[in-house]
Chain A
């Protein structure tokens, strides 16, 4: 069992989102380095202050984090290159908070960079055509795709609860409205529910506009002690709670509709000592529209089966009871393969009040939840609850 006494003396001191959505002239590490500079400048710290390095990417292999330290020419005292999919960076911030609290490092830098778009990666629909891996022997012969797995979740949810394609489409429409207010977002032209429903099916019941975009990009987050952060350039954002979880098919007896977010969310809320209704902003990994619905239900923002109603009528819009992804999310702003770091960056900027046209009215608490891997199959979940300091 985890302790509810999570250290509340850790803060996010700097963030940076790479402005580009297409960088054919840059490498992953170059994008990460540019993001490192951006986040360190934001905090007022220097690369020489960094003694904890965290990072993962689509292509970093074994010892990738060591390669990254070499690229940056730094010699940190604490490194963590764990890769649990798109949620990795939420998990890295959780691990950084624990490491700083334990005295293993003082200034942690969390990095992501990707050239998924300029490499023309088929992320959601590129099913494997062969494998020498015993773990995939039972999926490879059948043409399992990422979008196909989420689509199977969606069909089950529709059958069990009567959820509709129109309700899922509203999520995409809301994200696009948010993106229209974000000058960095890749897709800013407003869309309607009909636009989503008339876009071609990719894997039933999910249409093209139910799926996230593919972009290049990157981001960085600087984590340090609240005490140190108070003396730095930007307003510190405190870490209030966190949780991580894994969900998979077990021995073939798992309830597919229960995802990792249920466990990681409960853990994060218990640590933070907050209720669901205390949260002013939710940053939810939106690989597909169904991902948002599944995550909101499993985090407990609404009951199982009520997600369809919860996401309609502007309820997750900027003026709704729970604004979700004011930046436009992976559905419309950016999705360079692994999106977890942008959940944290937008949460911090909103809590600081730096978001211009899409800025919420003085939010004090935010939740970020990253999903890594594939809902409907095996996946990880990482939850982070943040708050402004008093």
Chain B
């Protein structure tokens, strides 16, 4: 269960491909085809060759494992104060990068390091902006 009101992320030119992907319920990662590096967060350059010409987006499987996590019992910030306790986690993706996320639709203390998880997209309609989708994960 999650009643987090995810704050709106700021999509820069560099991360537009990622946030357009989440709008299609796709987890999109970035790869440099010259260096064979998968990088997250997305950047305007490959961190190895500092060049953009071989960068491409690809759709990840959405499968991963919990690298580590915490059950957040206190966060006064808007959107989170009423959602406590909620699970904050790093998930190692099948394709070889790591993403900060929330694990939802479970008892928070049922999450463990190494647990297998699957992506899910939470679309939020907001009066102050266009709708947007945030990738979160559920226990497999």
Contacts and interface: CB of A to CB of B under 8 A. Distances in A.
Interface of A: 122, 125-134, 136-145, 147-148, 151-156, 159, 200-206, 249-253, 256, 376
15 contacts: A130-B7, A134-B14, A138-B9, A138-B99, A139-B100, A140-B10, A141-B6, A141-B8, A142-B101, A143-B4, A143-B72, A143-B79, A145-B74, A155-B70, A204-B109
Given A132-B10, A137-B11, A251-B47, A156 B68 contact: yes
Nearest to B44: A134
Given A152-B70, A156-B67, A141 B75 contact: no
Contact of A159 (B68, B79, B83): B68
Given A137-B11, A203-B71, A253-B96, 16 more contacts: A132-B10, A137-B15, A137-B41, A139-B100, A140-B7, A141-B8, A143-B88, A144-B88, A145-B77, A159-B112, A159-B114, A203-B88, A204-B70, A251-B38, A252-B40, A252-B97
A94 B124 CA distance: 48
Contacts, number: 142
Contacts of B19: 137
Contact of B77 (A127, A136, A202, A256): A127
A127 B9 CA distance: 14
A201 B73 contact: yes
Q: Tell which of B40, B74, B102 has the most Cβ of chain A within 10 Å.
A: B74
A352 B109 CA distance: 49
Contacts of A376: 68
Interface string B6-44: 111111101100010000000000000000011111000
Contacts of B58: none
Contacts of A129: 7, 77-80
Q: Tell which of B70, B72, B88, B98 has the most Cβ of chain A within 10 Å.
A: B70
Contact of A152 (B14, B68, B76, B78): B68
Contacts of A159: 68, 112-114
How big is chain B's contact interface, by range? 35 or more
A201 B83 CA distance: 15
Contact of B100 (A138, A147, A201): A138
Which secondary structure characterizes the binding site on chain A? loop
Given A137-B12, A159-B113, A145 B41 contact: no
B65 to A, nearest CB: 12
Lowest 3 A-B CB distances belong to which pairs?
A252-B97, A251-B39, A151-B70
Contacts of A249: 98
B134 interface: yes
Contacts of B83: 143
A253 to B, nearest CB: 7
Contacts of A140: 7, 9-10
Q: Tell which of A128, A132, A137, A159 has the most Cβ of chain B within 10 Å.
A: A137
Contacts of A151: 70
